[in-house]
Amino acid sequence: MNIHQSGGIVVPITSCSQNICEEGITNLVADHRRLNDLCDLLEHCADELPVMPTAFVAQQICDALTGLIGQDVPASSPYPDVADLYDPSDPLALVLMEEVHARHAADALHAQDLVDALRGTPEIAHRLSPDTIGYMLRCFFEGCRQAMDCEELAILALARNRLTQGTRRLLIDSLRLRSRRRRPAVA
């Protein structure tokens, strides 16, 4: 097998030569930081089980999750400025965009399940064991963190040559911060 170096360019670039809007990436990273804070809270709640969160904390969680559910998942790219710079028929771009959308859809489904469980009627709350609630919490926060990583990595891959140095650093720092906050997997 003969492998040729491509000079680091993985995704073909269209004739457009503009840089990606730094403000859009800054807003995305800020949203991801807030979402990661919610994931940290949910992880703490999961760690405290079988003690359920207080009614006040459960209400805060439900409000935050409802805010996520209410956001429409766009039919095209979650970051159209990036998608517009690349050939939409490029297989890598297509796969990355589909993966990001699939992860957003899964997060919305897990968020709705959590809201239903935490706001449920007393008979629903009694039927769900702490293990079930813990599983639901972990499904959301682990999937959500993976979705944020996937989205930021997709931007880095697709907009590689269109990102300013500061914007690239912002995305890399965001990925690095989340990776440092994770606990090592239990073997």
> How does pLDDT run across 140-163, given as a tens digit for each residue?
999 999 999 999 998 888 887 778
- pLDDT value at residue 17: 44
Q: What is the pLDDT of residue 48?
A: 94
Higher pLDDT, 118 or 19: 118
Tell me the C-alpha distance between 134 and 63, whole Å: 19
Q: Mean pLDDT across the chain, nearest whole number?
A: 78
Bigger pLDDT: 3 or 25? 25
Residue 123 pLDDT: 59
CA distances (Å), origin 103, targets 18, 28, 133, 151, 186: 28, 16, 21, 9, 24
Radius of gyration of the chain (CA): 19
**pLDDT tops 50 at residue 25:** yes
pLDDT of residue 125: 57
Query: What's the average model confidence in pLDDT over 31-56?
Result: 92
In angstroms, how far is CA 46 from the centroid of its own chain?
Answer: 19
Burial 121-143 (b: 16+ CB within 10 A, else e): eeeeeeebeeeebbebbebbbbb
Pick the range with the lowest mean pLDDT from 48-52, 152-156, 182-186.
Answer: 182-186
Q: Is the pLDDT of residue 174 over 90?
A: yes
Helices vs. strands in the chain: H and E counts, helices first? 7, 0
